[in-house]
Structure 1
Amino acid sequence: MNTAAFTTLILIGFHVGFSQDIPTSTGRTLLITSVRTGNTDIFAVDPVTGTSINLTNAPRSEERYPAWSPDGRRIVFTSNRSDGKTYDLYIANADGSQTRALTHLPAGAVAYWPSFTSDGKYIYFNEGNTSQIYRVRPDGSDLKAMAQGRDGNISPDGKQIVYTQQGRNGFGVWVMNADGSDRKQIIPHESQIGGIAPVWSHDGRKIAFSGQVGDYAEIFVCNADGSGLAQVTDLKKISSSPAFSQDDQYLTFRVTEEAYWRDAKTREKTYQEKEADKRPVWLVKTDGTGAQLLEVLHYHCAMDGSRAEWKPLAKK
């Protein structure tokens, strides 16, 4: 698909600024990174009332890229608390207690974007310096390098990884088996902006990602094989880091005015300044309607690319 074809996809039902109730079927707790304390910490937040709990409360380190366990009883995240420069993977109870390291990576390594398999047996995560995708068990055992790729996200059944890699014109959306075999590019259009961040729906049938449209990045959804591609947002900004709600009917995503991660100096400056409204969380239905800024999160989201992840609903 060429760029022209990509930008003429039918947009589906945009209504920016529409205020709506968030149904209980989505869950009512988001896991985010926040700078409201002056540090980058992990918070659990009610997206309607704004009620929030600091789960890490670590003033001398940076905590980023949180994710829920499938049963909602634990969280994983990355932190540089060991030496100030190495981002290892950590796990804690859902209330932030009993935090412990899962990895002890080489100095300067950057673990990010962990994701659980739905049975809770493995956590897959990415290492930024080597573009390597790893897996580890929740007790820290069986750490294994699985495949080369960027921004990998494991499918709920643990069989496939959706990820990005450099193509001829930028980064595309690819799928491979969890062991790195059978690599397929499912979205031929490639983005020079980056920040693709593909993610599986909870039923494993859909993938959401950030795709370039002209000078901007918008959120798209497709079937697991790349078919049924639909543009979900039309904000004409840099929209990224989508996450499906528990019922797969909504997406949260992050919005900023510039892709500051493309330049090392600009990225470092942005992270140091910690502007509280630099990259807030938005919400949209997967059919493209009801796009809105989550106002309760407007002025304390961190600048990293973490998803605003929905807490799993309690099983009946």
Structure 2
Amino acid sequence: MKTVVLTTLPLFGFYAGLSQPIPATTGRTLLITSVRTGNTDIFAVDPVSGTSINLTNAPQSEERYPAWSPDGKMIVFTSNRGDGKTFDLYIANADGSRAQALTHLPAGSVAYWPCFTADGQYIYFNEGNSSQIYRIRPNGKDMKAMAQGRDGNISPDGKQIVYTQQGTNGFGVWVMNADGSNRKQIIPNESQIGGIAPVWSHDGKMIAFSGQAGDYAEIFVCNADGSDLKQITHLKKISSSPAFSPDNQYLTFRVTEEAYWRDAQKREKTYQEKEADKRPVWLVKADGTDAQLLEVLHYHCAMDGSRAEWKPLAKK
């Protein structure tokens, strides 16, 4: 029988410093990668109360990069539970039950950042070793390599992928058709820090990403064509992995003191140490106001680049 860990933490910080309460349209459950049990597992967390449910409870493996299905009834994530070295894609019910492998990638492959199309018909995901973007159906069928690119994220209508690729001065933000055609760089400013992780808003009108600002990385938002670019954080740290709330009014993001992923040895050491206060979750309004640390997620998050993904709201 699968054990579920349920923990309630004190109510701190979620509303503190905001000019008005967060509306119900933002949702109340975040999907995160946590090391609160000493293992790297997927948790569903109420960011107000801190109530957390361990959805994977897999002490012998590493679970990372979770995402919700559009109806909030399923989750998809990556895990090395097969052989300890290959990160395949898995799908499970929203409570973590009935987990099953979707992919059977070559040994040593790393699937990461899966995301559903809005109609739930496909899951797009990235493979880190080959910088290849794939798609697969939620039943594990029809897997297909779609295009070269890094950190790809499919648009809600399934027609475009926002991704990163190497440019003249670093990694830039690009958009292409879902079949890999019509590639276009939409943000001329490139980052040598990396960790750009572009993501679509839920209406497909905006893109958020991590961009270099001097010696730091900050969160930026722009229109889908790259226009109206705005820097919405000014923390002078390494801010990354943004995710829009269901109403597109807020974003969660992760914050570190350094871009540890730039050094393979440092990255591996950081993963192994599992220090839980090194990459907490922050919240900011989409207009750049009221950036704040989510205190209930201050000391529990894993160091991987997983987004703190908001659970979709039930459709009326």
TM-score scaled to structure 2, two decimals?
0.94
Could you say which residue in structure 1 is the equivalent of 2:270? 270
Distance of 1:22 and 1:102 partners within structure 2:
36
Where do 5+ consecutive residues of structure 2 fail to align?
1-15
- The C-alpha deviation readout for 1:17-60, integer Å capped at 9, x for no partner, is 72563321100000000000000000000001000000000000
Please tell me whether residue 200 in structure 1 is matched to residue 166 in structure 2.
no
Distance of 1:18 and 1:154 partners within structure 2:
33
Please tell me whether residue 50 in structure 1 is matched to residue 50 in structure 2.
yes
Distance of 2:170 and 2:101 partners within structure 1:
34
Could you say which residue in structure 2 is the equivalent of 1:115? 115
Letter in 1 for 2:187: I
Determine if contact 1:243/1:307 at 8 Å carries over to the other structure: yes
| Secondary structure of the structure 1 residue equivalent to 2:302 | coil
Please tell me whether residue 310 in structure 1 is matched to residue 310 in structure 2.
yes
Q: Give the RMSD, CA atoms, in angstroms.
A: 0.7
- The C-alpha deviation readout for 1:91-114, integer Å capped at 9, x for no partner, is 000000000000000000000000
Distance of 1:21 and 1:302 partners within structure 2:
28
Could you say which residue in structure 2 is the equivalent of 1:287? 287
Could you say which residue in structure 2 is the equivalent of 1:75? 75
Distance of 1:35 and 1:193 partners within structure 2:
25
Could you say which residue in structure 2 is the equivalent of 1:87? 87
Could you say which residue in structure 2 is the equivalent of 1:29? 29
**Count of matched residue pairs:** 300
Please tell me whether residue 139 in structure 1 is matched to residue 155 in structure 2.
no
Please tell me whether residue 128 in structure 1 is matched to residue 128 in structure 2.
yes
Distance of 2:166 and 2:231 partners within structure 1:
22
Runs of 4+ in 1 over 3 A off after TM superposition: none
Could you say which residue in structure 2 is the equivalent of 1:220? 220
- The C-alpha deviation readout for 1:258-301, integer Å capped at 9, x for no partner, is 00000000000000001010000000000011100000000000
Letter in 2 for 1:72: G
Where do 5+ consecutive residues of structure 1 fail to align?
1-16
Distance of 1:239 and 1:23 partners within structure 2:
24
Letter in 1 for 2:302: A
- The C-alpha deviation readout for 1:227-282, integer Å capped at 9, x for no partner, is 01000000000000000000000000000000000000000000000101000000
Determine if contact 1:22/1:48 at 8 Å carries over to the other structure: no
Could you say which residue in structure 2 is the equivalent of 1:156? 156
**C-alpha displacement of 1:134:** 0.1
Letter in 1 for 2:95: D
Determine if contact 1:90/1:103 at 8 Å carries over to the other structure: yes
Could you say which residue in structure 2 is the equivalent of 1:173? 173
Q: Whose RCO is larger (CA < 8 A, sep 6+)?
A: 1
- The C-alpha deviation readout for 1:131-175, integer Å capped at 9, x for no partner, is 000000000000000000000000000000000000010000000
| Secondary structure of the structure 1 residue equivalent to 2:168 | coil
Distance of 2:101 and 2:133 partners within structure 1:
18
